[in-house]
Amino acid sequence: MIRKLLTGLAVSLVCGGGAMASDYIVVGSTDPAIKRGQAFDAGARVQLGVGKTITLMRASGEVTTLKGAASGVVVPANRLAAADTARFETLRALVEPPPQGRTFGARRGGICPAVETLTTLDDILRTAEASGCKTVARQALENYLAKTGQ
């Protein structure tokens, strides 16, 4: 019995593993099939038609715009460092559309900083993670992206 339990546990650990973050997140797209918040791994081929563009962002704050081609495009091949996984997931939560309707049980962690004071990606992500001010962090991220010309 214990042997079966240990075998099952070993199989689930090997097969299940932890959730791996992708390397890039879509922050803008002119192709309706590619949604904001969608994630891509480095080196992935994306079916992006001629004349279409996607703007991708890494957890580091690096923003890249790719222009479509007949054969699609390849996402840059720089792999995400394992330490950036949590940052990527926080960034993804900010980029994806906020939940619709009421969110029962949501609490604010205190007074949110002014949007204008959140000028770096580190400040924006720290605000989103620690203080529960995701609405302010989302607006600050939009301002950050506008400053980078995206």
Work out the angle between the directed axes of helices 134-147 and 85-95 (0-180°, nearest 10). 90
* pLDDT at residue number 14: 33
Contact status, residue 97 vs residue 37, Cβ threshold 8 Å: yes
**In the predicted model, what is the mean pLDDT of residues 110-116?**
84
Mean pLDDT of 53-60: 90
Percent of residues, the chain, with pLDDT higher than 90:
33
Residue 67 has, within 13 A of its CA and on its CB side, a CA count of: 2
**Residues counted in the chain:** 150
Q: What is the pLDDT of residues 136-148, one digit of tens each?
A: 999 999 999 888 7
pLDDT at residue 54 greater than cutoff 60: yes
Q: Is the pLDDT of residue 67 over 90?
A: yes
C-alpha separations of 109 from 43, 129, 132, 133 in Å: 39, 10, 5, 7
Q: Residue range 88-104: average pLDDT? A: 76
Average pLDDT, the chain: 78
User: What average pLDDT does this structure show over 90-98?
Assistant: 84
